[in-house]
Amino acid sequence: MTDGTVWTSADVAAATGGRAVGRWATTGVSIDSRAIDPGDLFVALQGERSDGNAYAGDALRRGAAAAMVSRADALPKTAPGIVVYDTQRALEDLGRAGRARSSAKVVAVTGSVGKTGTKEMLGLALGALGPTAYSVRSFNNHIGVPLTLARLPKDCAFAVCEIGMNHPGEIDALTRQVRPHVAIITTVEPAHLAFFPSVEAIADAKAEIFHGMAGGTAILNRDNAHFDRLAAAARASGVSRIIAFGADERADVRLTSYETEAGRSLVEATVAGKAVAYALGVEGRHWAMNSLAALAAVDALGGSVEAASRALVKMTAPKGRGARHRLDWTDGTLLLIDDSYNASPAAMRAAFTVLGAAEVGEGGRRIAALGDMRELGATSADLHAGLAEAIIAAGIDLVFTVGPEMENLHAALPAERRGSHAETAEALAPVLVESLRAGDAVLVKGSLTTRMGAVVEALQKAGRKEPCRHAL
């Protein structure tokens, strides 16, 4: 609609079965009363620690057009809103309604690593071809997916949804809401092993993404050991077409050349037999590989791969996923690579490669500050200790570690590569700050619950934060 309206009170009532109070229209949907944009519909979700109903009045005062609540008394008198039985279920109903009325071609992305970055690249690539909506941050769970669908503009040509999981059946429920035309599985690696008996079981859970498809295209990593298993699952679910990406000669979208230059990636590939060359605004071979998946999706939807690839030069690493900052430090500068949002064995190894290729100043060192990788189950100790070989191969000079699981890596490293070990990120931060010098390049990485972001914040406080910018 030309006035920007996403939902009217009648629309929301029809979608959710709720009782509308007043007549209103909204231009967005929000679940956070502190981040309301004027015109939003505030959805008062109930969490383990707080009840969103208590914040409905605050959301309305901040500019929300209406509030969705599960208690009528949560709405101030005469305030616009809608009363539903269960706000979580109502959000899901609203998401389904948003998906049902949309004529957009929908791409869904899952995988053990690389989901968010691939989603961001899809947003850029498809955005070069037409109006594109995609989830912000990592909105990939039972809240984020329906919220993304509920926010879909009626006139978007493309939509991208990220789908995550840490237990069987989670993706099945989400993909049935999304109903994608194209589904991407970036890769399958040891992650969330605490909830799965094997990596093969993780592959099967990722393959649930095909359950929401009626035909359509599956895009799979030909380099991954579980390609055949995923392809079989796709065919069993009735997927019409499988596109393989990777460096493998059998890949339909194949990496033929990769180089780095001034913090960006220069990529050459073939897409359905046609050569394409492009630059990515981020450095790392794993970024290049996942860009192939994005271009495969463009090709599957009949879009211009050339136009889409040109847009990828605008790609920047999301916060906590490889963002680079140049910090003033003593009588020079140092490079901070903030990859603190999450971690798995595969993601760690990819980050080590990036750090190994980073330029250091005179007398500078390559240093990693690493927090525990969580949810790895009985194999956790071995998986942490097993990172030592990749660290040595990448030429990383010094490793600081955080958490009980990372003690296994600390012990496995040669003595000359061991930095300090601490039980918490907050305890490590001042030690790391004192250990760094101008010219260093430092990587910070760990699972979100290890709070390695506190280390990043300490470094940024000690040195002026200045995001790296490269001439593109």
At residue 464, the pLDDT reads 56
Encoding tokens for residue 241?
């077409």
Closest CA to 132 of 142, 140, 145, 122: 122
CA-based radius of gyration for the chain:
23
DSSP 99: H
The helix/strand/coil state of 31 is: coil
> Which residue type sits at 117?
G
Task: Count Cβ atoms within 10 A of the Cβ of residue 470 and give its class: 0-12 exposed, 13-18 middle, 19 or more buried.
Answer: middle
pLDDT over 90 percentage in the chain = 88
On whether the 7-85 domain is CATH 3.30.1280.10, my answer is: no
> Is a pLDDT exceeding 60 seen at residue 471?
no
pLDDT in tens, 84-110: 999 999 999 999 999 999 999 999 999
Average pLDDT over residues 199-214: 97
Mean pLDDT of 352-375: 94
What average pLDDT score do residues 180-204 get? 93
Q: What is the pLDDT of residues 366-396, one digit of tens each?
A: 999 999 999 899 999 999 999 999 999 999 9
Can you read off the two tokens belonging to residue 200?
């093969």
- Alpha helix locations (H) across 102-185? 115-127, 144-150, 170-178
pLDDT tens-digit profile of 417-468?
999 999 999 999 999 999 999 999 999 999 999 999 999 999 999 985 444 4
Residue at 312: amino acid letter: L
Contacts 24+ apart (CB under 8 A), 45-54: 45/87, 45/88, 45/91, 45/143, 46/70, 46/87, 46/88, 52/87
DSSP letters along 226-260, please?
A: THHHHHHHHHHTT-SEEEEEESSTT-SEEEEEEEE
pLDDT given for residue 468 in this prediction: 45
Domain 323-462 annotated CATH 3.40.800.20: no
Residue partners of 164: CB distance under 8 A and separation at least 6: 110, 115, 138, 140, 141, 170, 171
Nearest-10 Cα torsion for 335, 338, 339, 340: 140
How does the average pLDDT of the chain come out, rounded?
94
**Pair of tokens at residue 101:** 């009325």
List the one residue out of 2, 61, 74 whose CA is nearest residue 33.
61
Q: Tell me the CA distances in angstroms from 366 to 189, 260, 371, 436, one per residue in order.
A: 26, 17, 17, 10
pLDDT for res 472:
28
Task: Tell whether the model's pLDDT for residue 2 goes beyond 60.
Answer: no
Residue with the larger pLDDT of the pair 472 and 88: 88
Mean pLDDT of 122-151: 93
H-type alpha helices, 237-319? 285-300, 305-311
Tell me the DSSP string of 362-389.
Answer: TT--EEEEEEPPPS-GGGHHHHHHTHHH
Fold for the domain defined by 102-314? UDP-N-acetylmuramoyl-L-alanine:D-glutamate ligase (3.40.1190)
> pTM for the full model?
0.88
Domain chopping of the chain, boundaries? 7-85, 102-314, 323-462
217-250 pLDDT, tens digit each: 999 999 999 999 999 999 999 999 999 999 999 9
For the cut 80, the answer to whether the pLDDT of residue 79 exceeds it is: yes
- Residue 117 in contact with residue 290, Cβ under 8 Å? yes
Is residue 168 predicted with pLDDT exceeding 70?
A: yes
User: Which amino acid appears at position 471 of this protein?
Assistant: A
pLDDT score at 154: 86
CB 402 within 8 A of CB 424: yes
pLDDT at 256 > cutoff 50: yes
Tell me the average pLDDT across 127-145: 91
388 close to 413: Cβ distance less than 8 angstroms:
yes
Using one digit for the tens of pLDDT, what is the confidence trace for 391-423?
999 999 999 999 999 999 999 999 999 999 999
At 360, list the tokens.
Answer: 């250091």
